[in-house]
Structure 1
Amino acid sequence: MSARTKSRKRALDILFSADVRGEPLERALAVEQERADARPERASSWPYARQIVQGVIDHADEIDDAIAEHANGWPIDRMPAVDRAVLRLATWELEHNPEVPAGVAIDEAVELVKELSTDDSPRFVNGVLGAIAKTPRATA
């Protein structure tokens, strides 16, 4: 598993747990920073995970607007929490990280929901992210 894949999983854990607990993402990120400082053996996955979560925090409204616009009748609050977290992570990558090709961001997101969510989630996440990827990439 690549370092970026591990980082995405770590970011997903933070996004998902904050969402489910109703905890502010800033607080979840701070708690994870404390864990990262205490566990140097996991240091390789932390910088990009932190970048993703901070990016989702910084662009939360814009990210949720993009997801809602392309989710075709699925309000964000009705989506499974895992799908919502993965969509936020991947939308940040699509719109604000030009280092990640759109196909990679989408493929990684689909793989995460295949592993962690419902049978319908891979097709749904792929469709939403594919539509978002067709819109002009925002400049971070």
Structure 2
Amino acid sequence: MSARTKARKRALDILFQSDVRGEELATMLAVEAKRAASEPARESSWLYAREIVDGVIDNSDAIDEQITTYAKDWSLARMPAVDRALLRIGAWEILYNDDVPTAVAIDEAVELAKEFSTDESSAFVHGVLARIARSS
């Protein structure tokens, strides 16, 4: 598994925990940063995970607007928390990270949805991210 895939999993964990616990994303990021400092072997995945989460924090309104626009009759509140987190990660990569090809961002989000969410989630995540990609 690549360092970026591991980083996406870490970012997913941070976003999910923040959402489920109702805590500020920046607070959860600080907790994870403290933990990461004691795990130098995982530094390569931590750096990109932090970049993702910082990017989601910095662009949260625009990212959520894109997701809401292209989720077709699904509000953010109605989505499973894992799907919300994956869509935010994928949307950030598509819209704000030129180093990641759009197809890779979508594929990684879909694979994580298959692993961590409902049976229907991978198709949902794919559809929303593909529409965001076409619009950007």
- In the superposition, the TM-score normalised over structure 2's length comes to 0.99
**Which residue number corresponds to residue 89 of structure 1?**
89
In structure 2, what is the Cα distance between the partners aligned to 1:38 and 1:125? 33
The number of residues matched between the two structures is 136
SS across alignment from 1:134: helix
Task: Tell me how far 1:43 sits from its aligned partner.
Answer: 1.0
Runs of 4+ in 1 over 4 A off after TM superposition: none
Task: Tell me how far 1:107 sits from its aligned partner.
Answer: 0.2
**Which residue number corresponds to residue 127 of structure 1?**
127
Which digits, 9 at most, give the CA deviation of each residue in 1:74-108, with x for residues without a partner?
Answer: 00011000000000001000000011000000000
Output the amino acid matched with 2:10: R
Output the amino acid matched with 1:72: K
In structure 1, what is the Cα distance between the partners aligned to 2:105 and 2:41? 26
**Which residue number corresponds to residue 19 of structure 1?**
19
Output the amino acid matched with 1:31: V
Output the amino acid matched with 1:73: D
**Which residue number corresponds to residue 78 of structure 2?**
78
Output the amino acid matched with 1:121: S
In structure 1, what is the Cα distance between the partners aligned to 2:93 and 2:32? 20
In structure 2, what is the Cα distance between the partners aligned to 1:74 and 1:33? 33
SS across alignment from 1:99: coil
In structure 2, what is the Cα distance between the partners aligned to 1:123 and 1:26? 30
Task: Tell me how far 1:121 sits from its aligned partner.
Answer: 0.4
SS across alignment from 2:135: coil
**Is there any run of 5+ residues in structure 1 with no aligned partner, and where?**
none
- In the superposition, the TM-score normalised over structure 1's length comes to 0.96
Output the amino acid matched with 2:72: N
**Which residue number corresponds to residue 64 of structure 2?**
64
| Identity score, percent | 62
**Is there any run of 5+ residues in structure 2 with no aligned partner, and where?**
none
Task: Tell me how far 1:135 sits from its aligned partner.
Answer: 1.3
